Amino acid sequence: MRLILLDQETDKRFHFNPLALSRPIWELRYGITSLAEKLIAATGLNATGLNDVACFVPPYMADVYKSRTDWPVNDPKSLLGDDLFIVSARVRAEFFSEDKTDSKTTGPSRVKFDDDGDCLLIRVAKEDIGKLKTDSIDSLIESAKAAFETCNCDVPTWNYTWELILENPDQLIKDFAMLGRSGIEGTVEQPSGVRGSKNDIFIGRGALIHPMAVLDAEHGPIYLDEDVEVHPFTRIEGPCFVGKKSILLGAKCREGNSIGPMCRLGGEVEESIIQGYSNKYHDGFLGHAYVGEWVNLGALTTNSDLKNDYSDVTVMLDGRTPIDTGSTKVGSLIGDHTKTSIGTLFNTGSYVGAMALIAATGKPLPKFIPSFAWFLEGVVTKGFGKAKLYETAATAMGRRKCQWTEADLKMWDEIFKLTAPVRKPAVAKGRRSLARK
Amino acid sequence: MATVKERVVAVTARVLQLDPKEILPEKTFTVDLGAESVQSIELVASFEEEFGIEMDEDAALSVENVGDAIAFITKVCKEQDVEI
In this prediction the ipTM stands at 0.83
Which chain B residues are closer than 8 Å to A385 by Cβ? 56-58, 61
| Other CB atoms within 10 A of residue A244 CB | 17
Give the span between the Cα atoms of A268 and A252, in whole angstroms.
Answer: 5
3-state helix, strand, coil in chain A (%, to 5): 30, 25, 45
A360 vs A346: CA distance, rounded Å: 9
Between CA A42 and CA A65 the distance in angstroms is: 23
CB-CB under 8 Å, B38 with A376: yes
pLDDT at A53: 93
From the list A385, A387, A430, the residue facing B45 with the nearest CB is A430
Torsion angle of alpha carbons A128, A134, A137, A139, nearest 10°?
-90
Flag residues of chain B having pLDDT under 70: none
- pLDDT tens string for chain A (437 positions)? 899 999 999 999 999 999 999 999 999 999 999 999 999 998 876 655 566 899 999 999 999 999 999 999 999 999 998 899 999 999 999 998 877 766 777 888 999 999 999 999 999 999 999 999 999 999 999 999 999 999 888 899 999 999 999 999 999 999 999 999 999 999 999 999 999 999 999 999 999 999 999 999 999 999 999 999 999 999 999 999 999 999 999 999 999 999 999 999 999 999 999 999 999 999 999 999 999 999 999 999 999 999 999 999 999 999 999 999 999 999 999 999 999 999 999 999 999 999 999 999 888 899 999 999 999 989 999 998 999 999 999 999 999 999 999 999 999 999 999 999 999 999 999 988 887 77
Nearest Cα of chain A lies from the Cα of B43 at a distance, in angstroms, of 9
- Predicted pLDDT at A294: 98
Tell whether omega for the bond before A239 is within 30 degrees of 0, i.e. cis: yes
User: CA angle A169-A172-A175, nearest 5°?
Assistant: 155
Among A359, A377, A384, the residue with its CB nearest the CB of B57 is A384
Of A165, A259, A172, which is closest to residue A219 (Cα–Cα)? A172
Name the burial class of residue A356, with classes exposed (0-12), middle (13-18) and buried (19+) by CB atoms within 10 angstroms of its CB.
buried
Is A431 within 8 Å of B48 when comparing Cβ atoms? yes
CB within 8 Å of chain A, chain B residues 28-57: 37-38, 41-42, 44-46, 48-50, 56-57
**Residue A246 contacts residue A257 (beta carbons within 8 Å):** no
How many CB atoms sit inside 10 A of residue A403's CB? 9
- Report yes or no: A376 at the B interface, CB cutoff 8 Å: yes
Closest chain B C-alpha to A150 CA, distance in angstroms: 51
Helix, strand, or coil (residue A66):
helix
Do residues A365 and A379 touch, judged by C-beta distance below 8 A? no
The candidate with the shortest Cα–Cα distance to A356, out of A273, A284, A423, is A423
Q: How far is A434 from chain B (nearest CA, A)?
A: 6
Q: Is A341 an 8 Å CB contact of chain B?
A: no
Chain A interface test: which of B17, B39, B44 (most A C-beta within 10 Å):
B44
* pLDDT of amino acid A46: 61
Residue B28, phi then psi, degrees to nearest 5: -85, 145
d(CA A434, CA B34): 18
Do residue A431 and residue B49 have CB atoms under 8 angstroms apart? yes
Contact between A313 and A329 under an 8 Å Cβ cutoff? The reply is: yes
Q: What is the pLDDT of residue A354?
A: 98
- Cα radius of gyration (chain B): 12
Contact criterion met (CB < 8 Å) for A381 and B45:
yes
Residue A221, preceding peptide bond in cis (omega within 30° of 0): no
- Give the Cβ contact number of residue A376 at 10 Å: 22
Cα–Cα–Cα angle for A207, A210, A214, nearest 5°? 95
Q: What is the pLDDT of residue A50?
A: 61
